Structure 1
Amino acid sequence: MSHTIKGNLAAYLCGRDCSEYLSQVKVRIYLPLADVNIPAVSSAEIKDTFREVKEEEIKSKQDRLLAEAETDMEGNFSIKIDERYSRSALEIDFYCGSVPRPPLPPKKGKERQFHITTFVPQWKTSENQENWIANFAYIIPDKWWCLIKGRYFDVWTICGVLTDCKTGKPLEGVSVIAMDADFITDDELGRNTTDSNGHFKIYYTSVEFKKTFLSPIINIETDVALPFASGPDVYFQLEYGGQRFALETKANRRNNVGYCLCVKLCSKELIPVDSSVPPSFTHFGLTQHIPIQAGINSATGKTLGNYAFFSSVNLVGTISKKINTQPMEYLFEYQEVANPADALNPAGWNPIVPNMIDKTVIGYLWTFTGDPSNPIAYEPYFINGTGTEKTVTFNGNWIQVPQDSNFAPHVDAEILKLNTEKLTGVTSIDMAMPTSGIGNATVSAARPHTSNRYFAIRMRQRQISNSATEIVAGTSKPIAVYNVLYQNVNKYGSWAHTTVDNQYIALSVDLEEIISGSSGCSKITTDLHIKYGARNENLGNVSLSIVGPHKPGQSFGFNAVALMPAPETFGSTQLVFTPPTDTVADLLACAYTVSISATALLTTGDSNLGSYYDFVSFCKV
């Protein structure tokens, strides 16, 4: 029968409260020296046996090496021992060139070997009675493992637990952020999310706390007392739902911590951390995040994807509760220009007044629930909130930032939702016409060409009611805006004719042969002429398709529709057949449907206008 040692290696980081597995290290089994006092070394305490094995000793004991194996991710290993040595005591070492540093890959360094102990196997038969098994489990004390990780591999560790100060219950799912308090700037060392027991581990290296304002040119720990030899000065913040909270401040820092720091933290109140991002207006749209300068084409006022804006647009940026310790308020203004490349008039700005603003969330009130499964609750703060909702106060047209102690203002998020229809108004164009007009130009005195309009948007901010502190905090290039709706648009051809209203694209398709019929239900025999029209200043695509049966080896469809200059594309076309000798007369006697689809390049910065459709059906006889 075979003899197998099944073992596990782990290490404490902060006593029994925090440990980790020795994963992917090599376990080496040696015969002991002949003159070693086996009873003494096998029963010796860890302080007398655990040590680093130097290169010379590794070489000298090479001829005594019996076997080696690598541990798995949970520190488990299995090593078979030749039966000749099954009655011998065994030396156990491990050999590693890296140590754990989740969530990053293991930190690699010079490979080193450490002696654990001398082990006398106690063999027992396996369940199937076919093998002899000896179990071995070992946990390295934290003082040794922290020293190995920190000194040899530059991996520093924080182990802790986060609880509710009032109930003592663990808080789950909260990100704990370790900060290094420096003389000049504070650095984030690392972060980890608490588990169901409130436990967390944060791994970092000296690189994180040796950063300075001159990094990466000069990297030193900027503590003025011990500038070259100290560890970081650590304090903690929390993050939940994308918002940071000050659990501690620099005044609570733990100075010059060692390779392992063990902490017990509790939270009793949530104070949002002021953003390091200055208050400013930077983008259009949360989803597409279009920069207000670099994201706009100066020649067209459209986005770099060639989209004009319509409907309600999120103005994205950052606000803060205070400016220079005083409460903050902000205002948006607009200026219309004839062409997007025109210079802006310093005196041409107009305020965006409250009724131009759609309901907007600008931040949240955060409260500590004490519920471990949902530790933090939040209540949105609105511009133009309704009912019992928290809503901001206007100071004229200025928006006052809430000053509640637990208010967390938006950072790189929406700070005002502008209803562009209130800037331009909504232009309605009546497209009522006989179906015979489909396929022809629609621009006329009654249906004029309505072009994009161009508006620059800017943000101003100040200390509340203090005009002397006013500054501009972001000005956009003029953007193209198009808010036109088409009424009485023909749909479904002549035989099932109807009209629809409030269309962003006036889109119609019909068949010449049906239009000319006396009843609108003429049958198709040898000729088929498709007439189509699509109107919008910012047309993106127009396409035709047909659905119906075909003969074996036969196919048919339409050539691509070429866009015409704004504001519309129209015309007439016929089917293209394969083989090219086929004509409409060669279609099977059945029902067919011709469809048209169109897009317009309009965006809110968060979503684009969807496609529009129309269709008409006919019978081939």
Structure 2
Amino acid sequence: MSFIIKGNFSARLCEDCFENLSQVRVRIYLPLRENDVAAVSAAAIKDTFRELSDEEIKAKQNRLIAEAETDMEGNFGINIDEKYSRSAFEIDIYCDSVPRLPHPPKKGKARQFHITTFTPEWKLIDDQNHVSNFQCRLPSKWWCMIKGKYFDVWSICGQLIDCKTKKALPGITVIAMDADFITDDELGRNVTDSNGYFKIFYTSVEFKKTFLSPVINIETDVLLPFASGPDVYFQLEYGGQRFALETKANRRNNVGYCLCVKLCAKELIAVESDTPPSFTHFGLTQHIPIQSGINLATGKTLAGYAFFSSVNLIGTICKKINAQPMEYLFEFQQLANPTDAINPGNWSPIVPNMIDKTVIGYLYTYTGDPNNFVDFEDYYINGTGTEKTVTFNGNWIQVPQESNFIGHADGQILKLNTEKLAGVTTIDMSTPTSTIGSATVSPARPQVKNKYYALRMRQRQQGNAATEMIAGTSKPIAIYNVLYKNVNKNGSWAPSTVSDQYIAVSVDLQEIVAGLSGCSKVTNALHVKYGARNENLSNVSLSITGPHKPGQSFGFDPIALLAAPETFGSTQLIFTPPTDTVADLLPCAYTVSISATALLTTGDGNLNSYNDFVSFCKV
């Protein structure tokens, strides 16, 4: 026969906000004989709850009869020996951590707390098993003190609603800020649930930061006691944009370990970036620094890539400079070599037709709709139709001045079409298939090397040349925009040509060429001819697909790259076992494929591989 106490521990942070006590140990003790069990069992937890000293824990150790750890939901189950089934029990919790989502539980010195004396009411659930249920929710005044004083975990619980409709606003990030004399710190953030509720946990480290941190950490409001709490106000974030729900003027001063709030959103003001206008990176995805991310010796990225096609120039813009509307301009300078010195007087503007359609920010509109909290409308350079698009002042891009416009911070501020900047070179590769495997560079098809351009951003108050400043200059970058026309494909088997290829890559079989027919059959020899061309060629590889005998495998040796801009040659199959030859292939159809890659990037994506193949029949 079994006796099980099933229970749950939780604790209030606020009147309508609670959390489960996970990973705490529940300890069951026999009561002292001299205690008035009936009286202490009837007492409220607020009257019985207390922390035990080390001496008290040691003194009651011989009365401990069972213990168990709560799960993530605060649930536990403890088996009680049948001989104690008629007894009352003292229930304590022993913990060395407290919840601090989304981070792991906060660790600290283990402490034990007496909860209450519990007299089970056993219910027979089948012929052999008895269960008694125990539920405990600790009052907020105790739990907030335990978390804050002993484990340095401070808590904010709240709900976000629409001020007019009173409806909950789900899916909004609430950000708790600490207002300081020198600089405001972010304490923590959390996304509202389906009912608009959120919890934010933080430690004193977050509100004791200073401009000298981490060397010196202390609340920067030095006029207040060291033990004071933060001065809290709230901001919101939605769709990647931050909004000022409150300002530091609305702050709650010196809050305690637990703060309970009900927030409502009405007129929102977007928080502008405090980063000065600047040009800092290439590519939203790869985020390549314009100086440290470029190899001065080659003009390529540190990974060895040259740029091609359209490249996102990344940085920050603001609506105003010194309270006046801002405008900005990008300029370029071509150099013969990436190591050449930049000429301060030789810059040329990037004109509007060199700029691809670019999103530089957006307009926001507060809707009050819980399912669509804020509407966003993109703002473009070179927008079309009814799209919001910027005005040019000559070649200067005027930053929109609508009150609800927010410009990108560390985002796309210009999409440069490098083909219009540097031009596109086309090379006609039309030749007989018999030339595959040979050099293609000739006076008619000369080598076209990378071009090198430095880029820079300038900013100013609109129309005021006296306020112009440089806001970021890149190292010279390598740009390669070459398109190959009439590239041979499928060899002599099913000959065709394709154009507008970034890599010219072809493969053929000498045996088919010699047979003067794409259907010529292979019997005992196979010579694969290949060629690939691009100034930034990275890898060329051959493969073959088709059936093989048991224990037999075949393939090609790695292809060594020749000097830029191409590699070419002829090769044969390598067999295992090495005694096998082409004559040992099974009579069937086979396909030889070639793949070539080049180190070209837009900063957001790299050039895909280019391929060709030729098939044959083994008889």
Q: TM-score scaled by structure 2?
A: 0.95
Partner of 1:307: 305
TM-superposed CA distance for 1:89, in Å, is 3.3
- Within the candidate set 412, 415, 418, 1:414 is matched to 412
Secondary structure of 1:42 counterpart? helix
Pair 1:495–1:155, CA change in 2 (3 A): closer
Partner of 2:606: 608
Secondary structure of 2:360 counterpart? strand
Pair 1:336–1:133, CA change in 2 (3 A): same
| Cα distance per residue 1:168-190 (max 9 Å; x no partner) | 11111111111100111111111
Pair 1:327–1:620, CA change in 2 (3 A): same
Pair 1:131–1:397, CA change in 2 (3 A): same
Partner of 1:153: 151
Secondary structure of 2:434 counterpart? helix
Partner of 1:435: 433
Partner of 1:27: 26
Partner of 2:371: 373
Pair 1:138–1:529, CA change in 2 (3 A): closer
Q: Which sections of structure 2, spanning at least 5 residues, go unmatched?
A: none
TM-superposed CA distance for 1:581, in Å, is 4.7
Given that 1:165 and 1:266 are in contact with CA atoms closer than 8 Å, whether structure 2 keeps it comes out as yes
Pair 1:120–1:492, CA change in 2 (3 A): closer
| Cα distance per residue 1:93-118 (max 9 Å; x no partner) | 22222221112222222222222223
Residue 14 of structure 1 pairs with residue 14 of structure 2: yes
Letter of the aligned partner of 2:90 in structure 1? E
Given that 2:547 and 2:586 are in contact with CA atoms closer than 8 Å, whether structure 1 keeps it comes out as yes
Q: Which sections of structure 1, spanning at least 5 residues, go unmatched?
A: none
Partner of 2:331: 333
Given that 2:336 and 2:451 are in contact with CA atoms closer than 8 Å, whether structure 1 keeps it comes out as yes
TM-superposed CA distance for 1:138, in Å, is 1.7
Pair 1:303–1:36, CA change in 2 (3 A): same
Pair 1:396–1:63, CA change in 2 (3 A): same
Given that 1:223 and 1:230 are in contact with CA atoms closer than 8 Å, whether structure 2 keeps it comes out as no
Given that 1:220 and 1:227 are in contact with CA atoms closer than 8 Å, whether structure 2 keeps it comes out as no
Paired residues for 1:127-526 under 5 Å: 128-519=126-517, 521-526=519-524
Pair 1:513–1:101, CA change in 2 (3 A): closer
TM-superposed CA distance for 1:341, in Å, is 0.6
Pair 1:510–1:86, CA change in 2 (3 A): closer
Pair 1:62–1:592, CA change in 2 (3 A): closer
Pair 1:437–1:270, CA change in 2 (3 A): same
Question: Which 10-residue stretch deviates more, 59-68 or 460-469?
Answer: 59-68
Question: Which 10-residue stretch deviates more, 34-43 or 292-301?
Answer: 34-43
TM-superposed CA distance for 1:84, in Å, is 4.0
Given that 1:270 and 1:366 are in contact with CA atoms closer than 8 Å, whether structure 2 keeps it comes out as no
TM-superposed CA distance for 1:467, in Å, is 1.8
Pair 1:136–1:573, CA change in 2 (3 A): closer
TM-superposed CA distance for 1:478, in Å, is 0.7
Structure 1 stretches of 4+ moved >6 Å: none
Letter of the aligned partner of 1:72 in structure 2? D
TM-superposed CA distance for 1:55, in Å, is 2.6
d(CA) in 1 for partners of 2:45, 2:583:
97
Letter of the aligned partner of 1:107 in structure 2? K
TM-superposed CA distance for 1:241, in Å, is 2.1
TM-superposed CA distance for 1:549, in Å, is 4.1
Pair 1:102–1:583, CA change in 2 (3 A): closer
Given that 2:160 and 2:197 are in contact with CA atoms closer than 8 Å, whether structure 1 keeps it comes out as yes
Question: Which 10-residue stretch deviates more, 425-434 or 305-314?
Answer: 425-434
Aligned residues with identical type, % of pairs: 77
d(CA) in 1 for partners of 2:507, 2:446:
21
Partner of 1:565: 563
TM-superposed CA distance for 1:58, in Å, is 2.6
TM-superposed CA distance for 1:518, in Å, is 4.6
Pair 1:395–1:130, CA change in 2 (3 A): same
d(CA) in 1 for partners of 2:31, 2:142:
23
Secondary structure of 1:152 counterpart? helix
Residue 98 of structure 1 pairs with residue 97 of structure 2: yes
| Cα distance per residue 1:3-38 (max 9 Å; x no partner) | 3322222111111x1011222222223333333333
Pair 1:64–1:426, CA change in 2 (3 A): same
Residue 38 of structure 1 pairs with residue 37 of structure 2: yes
Question: Which 10-residue stretch deviates more, 436-445 or 208-217?
Answer: 436-445
Secondary structure of 1:468 counterpart? helix
Pair 1:339–1:61, CA change in 2 (3 A): same
Pair 1:31–1:543, CA change in 2 (3 A): closer
d(CA) in 1 for partners of 2:454, 2:470:
13
Letter of the aligned partner of 1:193 in structure 2? V
Q: TM-score scaled by structure 1?
A: 0.95
| Cα distance per residue 1:207-265 (max 9 Å; x no partner) | 11111111112111111331412100000111122221111111110000011000000
Letter of the aligned partner of 1:615 in structure 2? F
Pair 1:4–1:524, CA change in 2 (3 A): closer
Given that 2:46 and 2:139 are in contact with CA atoms closer than 8 Å, whether structure 1 keeps it comes out as no
Partner of 1:65: 64
Secondary structure of 1:145 counterpart? helix
d(CA) in 1 for partners of 2:392, 2:109:
63
Given that 1:269 and 1:367 are in contact with CA atoms closer than 8 Å, whether structure 2 keeps it comes out as no
d(CA) in 1 for partners of 2:34, 2:551:
93
Given that 1:235 and 1:249 are in contact with CA atoms closer than 8 Å, whether structure 2 keeps it comes out as yes
Partner of 1:125: 124
Residue 2 of structure 1 pairs with residue 8 of structure 2: no
Partner of 1:74: 73
d(CA) in 2 for partners of 1:140, 1:520:
84
Letter of the aligned partner of 1:37 in structure 2? D
| Cα distance per residue 1:367-399 (max 9 Å; x no partner) | 223222332222211111111111112121111
TM-superposed CA distance for 1:91, in Å, is 2.5
Letter of the aligned partner of 1:278 in structure 2? P
Letter of the aligned partner of 1:319 in structure 2? I
d(CA) in 2 for partners of 1:130, 1:520:
84
RMSD of aligned Cα (Å): 2.1
d(CA) in 1 for partners of 2:587, 2:14:
84
Pair 1:85–1:518, CA change in 2 (3 A): closer
Letter of the aligned partner of 2:213 in structure 1? S
Letter of the aligned partner of 2:50 in structure 1? R
Secondary structure of 1:100 counterpart? strand
Letter of the aligned partner of 1:301 in structure 2? G
| Cα distance per residue 1:136-156 (max 9 Å; x no partner) | 212111111111211121111
| Cα distance per residue 1:316-346 (max 9 Å; x no partner) | 1222222233222211111100001101000
Q: How many residues align?
A: 619
Question: Which 10-residue stretch deviates more, 147-156 or 550-559?
Answer: 550-559
Pair 1:28–1:478, CA change in 2 (3 A): same
Secondary structure of 1:609 counterpart? coil
Letter of the aligned partner of 1:4 in structure 2? I
Letter of the aligned partner of 1:466 in structure 2? N
d(CA) in 1 for partners of 2:87, 2:525:
100
Letter of the aligned partner of 1:114 in structure 2? F
